[in-house]
């Protein structure tokens, strides 16, 4: 994935070079530059300093929301999830008469979130990898350009539009009953472009010499791709898939449209109603200002979700950093 590649490798080069320069400039700015008058070069040095301060400031300001969000979620959501019940029980029986009114578990929602993301991945990853192979290995036709354009468009399709599309096809046109898999189908539309783009970047990095060597030995094209190209770029593909998984695990809008919420555990994606962490947050959100129990459930589910997404994300980035293709 291009983002990872630049994060890991590219900034190093210009940074080193600009770092060496900056010391030299500061001294020059003060001393004046031969023919250029002192007032002018003073103004230029001042501008340069202001720019440096602003650019550092922008970076530091951008960290505020990240730290603030993490602090809010952890400080309010950590104590419900540190209770072992949170991971073991669902919400069945909560709120019934005679039941002690407590927070209880989120097992149903955690399992639901993982299952929805898992089914999405099962459908989306093969399509995405084959599309990327088509673009890189069979590309350069008009169809390939159209596919590439459509991948871009698909990556810009708002999740609610993807959801409304699945709703229209499934319910309005075919009159089928919504099942948990419907959410996955909508999320497939969001995951395919993410994984396609990252796989594409990785396949492009595979040196052409490898392919040519394989062809020279008489290996057919498809076997070259399966045995040589894919294994070489495997870590990048895994990284892209993990980032895609993390993205769809946190998506909410399609679930609002295509899945209702249930307090009970359901592990079957083909029937019934399945809960997920985002829908659990959504259901309890309305009462959270007045009711501490609802607030605990919201912050607890938010905390679980953010930890899940960030951990998967970091694992993906770690794999990308540890196993880079040396081109």
Partner 1 sequence: MTPVEASTRRRWGDLIFGGSAAAAGWTVIVSVVLIAIFLLAQALPAIGQDHANFLTSTAWAPNDKPARFGILQMLWTTVVSSVIAVLIAVPFSVAIALFLTHYSPRWLSGTAATLIDLLAAVPSIIFGVWGFMVLAPKLVPVQNGISDVFGWIPLFARDDAVSGGTTIFTIGIVLAIMILPIITALTREVFSQAPRSHQEAALALGATKWEMIRTAVLPFGRPGIISATMLGLGRALGETIAVMFILSSLPDGAPWSSSIFGGGTTFAAKIASDVAEFTPGVGTGAYIAAGLVLFVLTFVVNAGARIVIERRKAFSE
Q: Considering only residues 229 through 268, tell me which ones interact with partner 1, judged by CB under 8 A.
A: 246-247, 249-253, 256-257
Indicate which single residue of 38, 40, 42, 54 sits in contact with partner 1 (rule: CB under 8 A). Answer: 54
**How far apart are the C-alpha atoms of 260 and 276, rounded to whole Å?**
9
- Determine the interface stretch with partner 1 among 20-28, 78-86, 103-111, 197-205 (rule: CB under 8 A): 20-28
CB closer to partner 1, 315 vs 325: 315
Indicate which single residue of 38, 42, 68, 271 sits in contact with partner 1 (rule: CB under 8 A). Answer: 68
Q: How many CB atoms lie within 10 A of CB 35?
A: 5
289: Cβ contacts below 8 Å, ≥ 6 apart: 295
Q: Is 19 in the site for partner 1 (CB under 8 A)?
A: yes
Q: Cβ 98 to partner 1, closest distance in Å?
A: 30
DSSP per-residue codes, 34-98: TTS-HHHHHHHHHHHHHHHHHHHHHHHHHHHHHHHHHHHHHHHHHHHHHSTHHHH--STTTTSTT
Q: Cβ 216 to partner 1, closest distance in Å?
A: 15
Q: Is 210 in the site for partner 1 (CB under 8 A)?
A: no
124: Cβ contacts below 8 Å, ≥ 6 apart: 187, 188, 191, 192, 195, 244
Q: Cβ 320 to partner 1, closest distance in Å?
A: 11
- Determine the interface stretch with partner 1 among 16-24, 78-86, 91-99, 202-210 (rule: CB under 8 A): 16-24
Supply the Cα-derived Rg of the chain in whole angstroms. Answer: 26
Q: Is 205 in the site for partner 1 (CB under 8 A)?
A: no
Q: Cβ 15 to partner 1, closest distance in Å?
A: 5
Question: How many Cα neighbours within 13 Å face the side chain of 66?
Answer: 6
Q: Cβ 185 to partner 1, closest distance in Å?
A: 10
Instruction: State how far the alpha carbon of 271 is from the alpha carbons of 92, 167, 171, 180, 182, in Å.
Output: 19, 16, 15, 7, 10
CB closer to partner 1, 105 vs 193: 193
Q: Which of 246, 251, 194 is nearest to 3 (CA)?
A: 194
Q: Is 39 in the site for partner 1 (CB under 8 A)?
A: no
CB closer to partner 1, 83 vs 148: 148
Q: Cβ 163 to partner 1, closest distance in Å?
A: 8
The 162-201 site mask, x for binding partner 1 (CB under 8 A), equals x-xx-xxx--xx---------------x--x---x-----
Q: Cβ 120 to partner 1, closest distance in Å?
A: 14
For 185, phi then psi, to 5°, come to -60, -40
Indicate which single residue of 187, 229, 281, 283 sits in contact with partner 1 (rule: CB under 8 A). Answer: 281
Contact indicator for 325, 202 with CB cutoff of 8 Å: yes
């Amino acid at each position: 994935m291009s983002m990872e590649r630049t994060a890991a490798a590219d900034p190093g080069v210009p940074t080193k070079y600009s770092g060496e320069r900056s010391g030299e400039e500061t001294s020059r700015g003060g001393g004046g530059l031969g023919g250029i008058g002192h007032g002018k070069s003073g103004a230029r040095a001042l501008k340069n300093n202001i720019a440096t301060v602003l650019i550092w400031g922008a970076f530091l300001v951008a960290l505020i929301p990240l730290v603030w969000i993490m602090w809010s979620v952890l400080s309010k959501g950590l104590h419900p999830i540190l209770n072992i019940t949170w991971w073991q029980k669902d919400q069945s029986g909560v709120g019934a008469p005679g039941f002690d009114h407590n927070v209880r578990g989120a097992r149903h929602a955690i399992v639901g979130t993982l299952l929805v993301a898992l089914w999405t991945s099962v459908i989306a990853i093969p399509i995405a990898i084959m599309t990327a192979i088509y673009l890189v290995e069979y590309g350069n036709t008009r169809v390939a350009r159209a596919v590439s354009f459509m991948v871009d468009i698909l990556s810009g399709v708002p999740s609610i539009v993807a959801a409304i599309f699945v709703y229209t096809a499934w319910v309005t046109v075919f009159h089928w009953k919504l099942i948990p898999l419907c959410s996955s189908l909508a999320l497939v539309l969001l995951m395919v472009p993410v994984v396609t783009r990252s796989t594409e970047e990785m396949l492009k990095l595979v040196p052409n010499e490898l392919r040519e060597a394989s062809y020279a030995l008489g290996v057919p094209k498809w076997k070259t791709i399966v045995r040589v190209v894919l294994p070489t770029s495997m870590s990048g593909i895994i990284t892209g898939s993990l980032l895609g998984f993390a993205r769809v695990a946190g998506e909410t809008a399609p679930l609002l449209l295509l899945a209702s919420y249930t307090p009970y555990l359901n592990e079957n994606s083909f029937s019934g109603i399945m809960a997920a962490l985002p829908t659990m947050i959504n259901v309890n959100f309305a009462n959270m200002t007045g009711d501490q129990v609802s607030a605990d459930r919201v912050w607890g589910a938010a905390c679980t979700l953010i930890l899940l997404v960030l951990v998967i994300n970091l694992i993906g980035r770690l794999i990308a950093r540890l196993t880079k293709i040396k081109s």
